[in-house]
Amino acid sequence: MSRFVILSGCSGGGKSTLLDALAERGFAVVPEPGRRIVAKELAGDGVALPWIDLAAFARRAVALALDDLAAHRDTPGWVVFDRGLVDAAAALAHATGVSAAEIVCAGPPLHRTVFLTPPWPEIYVADAERQHGFDDAVAEYERLAALYPALGFEVVVLPKSNVAERADLVMRTLAG
């Protein structure tokens, strides 16, 4: 069984906060490829941004997600990825029509349980790196919520609760 766990779901749904809480509890964590790409693009020429060129952004996200997986091949214990390969493949499929399944199958095995943060308008905030609106975030969530089970993942939708309760649920599920 793979130790690579994906935390996915709706933009602005609390993934990064949960990732920080899991890191505090001793998990190895990997930040979202998309946010790292956007920060780098905003500091540079700004071409591969999702609101300018989604396909270029998604191609970079796939490459970065694969690099992240390779970099953690020897990391002991659970490794929790904020988004990662499947989400990047979903974005590339949405932008270009390529098969997300083929991209995911080309990568290393992932844990079969994925944790999704649902749309949560009360905490959603747009910022310089998240310029899309809530409706776009929900549409992306719906694509991911359909794709993960289609790829054979068991989906656990996290409750709209405090971060400690969410982290407890992740830990209980992985221990189970």
Q: The domain that contains 126 carries what CATH number? A: 3.40.50.300
Q: How many whole angstroms separate alpha carbon 145 and alpha carbon 174?
A: 20
CA dihedral in degrees (33, 91, 161, 110; nearest 10)? -70
Task: Give the chain's length.
Answer: 176
Structure-token match 């904020």, residue found: 82
Domain around 13: 4-175
Count of other CB atoms within 10 angstroms of residue 116: 20
pLDDT in tens, 29-83: 999 998 889 888 888 877 887 778 989 999 999 999 999 999 999 999 999 999 9
Overall average pLDDT of the 151-165 stretch: 96
112: number of CA atoms within 13 Å, CB side?
4
Residue 66, beta-bridge partner list: none
Q: Alpha-carbon distance 91 to 147, whole Å? A: 11
Give the integer Cα–Cα distance in Å for 76 and 110.
15
Share of the chain above pLDDT 90, in %: 70
pLDDT category, 128, cuts 50, 70, 90? low
The predicted model gives 11-35 an average pLDDT of: 92
Mean pLDDT over 86-99 rounds to 95
What CA–CA distance (Å, rounded) separates 65 from 14? 20
Provide the domain count of the chain: 1
| pLDDT for 19 | 96
% of the chain beyond a pLDDT of 70 = 93
* pLDDT value for 144: 95
Element (H, E) at 157: strand 154-157
Task: Say whether pLDDT at 162 is over 90.
Answer: yes
**Is 139:31 a contact under the CB 8 Å cutoff?**
no
